[in-house]
């Protein structure tokens, strides 16, 4: 299996605790960038950078326009913007209409990432209460990226992962408690 060059994690209701656990395995020497697209309330949002920094030694920052994507950095999609990825592996922010009632939309980011990274992409879909991310995950699979879904049995809000499993032949279904170890193992695979 080839080592990825980007990991995108999408989550909504019920996914924050799993993401907090993932933070503990992402160190400064983590060999790939991680982008977290989390449905957030743009008015009453918490400071996710500080929250995640309490669990990880890696650099954690909110995505900025035209920012170069670097390994070992955890990027957070800003509230109320879609995160796009350009061919030159930089971020772009977009304020167009909501997708699946969401902005940022997991679908939008999964699709852009798949167009740029193809087989070098890993996408993980976590707990959530709507279908955002499902169509994008299918597109990632078509483009040869690795698709991972949280086991719905272990999801606080199982709708999103259940819907993904009904629509996409994903590569891995991983229980919430095993996701950090899975990511650590995946990231540190020797290159092929």
> 67: closest CA among 79, 80, 83?
83
Nearest to 13 by CA among 87, 88, 101, 86: 101
132 is catalytic: yes
Q: Are 75 and 36 in contact (CB under 8 A)?
A: yes
Of the candidates 86, 85, 84, 88, the one whose C-alpha atom is nearest the C-alpha of residue 96 is 84
Catalytic annotation, pick one of 12, 15, 56, 102? 12
Task: Note if 12 is an active site residue.
Answer: yes
Active site (annotated) includes residue 92? no
- The active-site residue, picked from 15, 39, 107, 163, is 39
Task: Provide the strand spans (E) within the chain.
Answer: 6-11, 34-38, 59-62, 73-76, 82-85, 91-94, 121-125, 146-150, 172-174
CB 176 within 8 A of CB 155: yes
Residue 124 CB contacts under 8 Å (≥ 6 apart), including other chains:
7, 8, 9, 10, 148, 149, 150, 179, 183
Give the active site residue among 102, 107, 132, 151.
Answer: 132
Active site residues: 12, 39, 132
């Amino acid at each position: 299996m080839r080592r990825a060059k980007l990991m995108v994690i999408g989550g909504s209701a019920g996914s924050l605790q799993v993401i907090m656990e993932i933070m503990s395995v992402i160190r400064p020497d983590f060999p790939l960038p991680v982008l977290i697209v989390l449905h957030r309330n743009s008015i009453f949002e918490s400071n996710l950078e500080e929250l995640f920094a309490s669990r990880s030694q890696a650099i954690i920052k909110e995505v900025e326009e035209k920012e170069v994507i670097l390994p070992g950095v955890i990027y957070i999609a800003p509230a109320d913007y879609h995160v796009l990825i350009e061919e030159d592996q930089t971020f772009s922010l977009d304020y167009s209409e909501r997708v699946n009632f969401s902005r940022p939309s997991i679908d939008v980011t999964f699709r852009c990432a798949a167009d740029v990274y193809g087989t070098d992409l890993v996408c993980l879909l976590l707990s959530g209460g709507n279908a955002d991310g499902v169509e994008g995950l299918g597109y990632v699979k078509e483009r040869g990226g690795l698709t991972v879904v949280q086991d719905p049995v272990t999801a606080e809000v199982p709708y999103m992962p259940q819907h993904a499993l009904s629509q996409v032949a994903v590569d891995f279904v991983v229980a919430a408690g095993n996701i950090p170890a899975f990511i650590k193992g995946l990231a540190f695979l020797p290159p092929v």
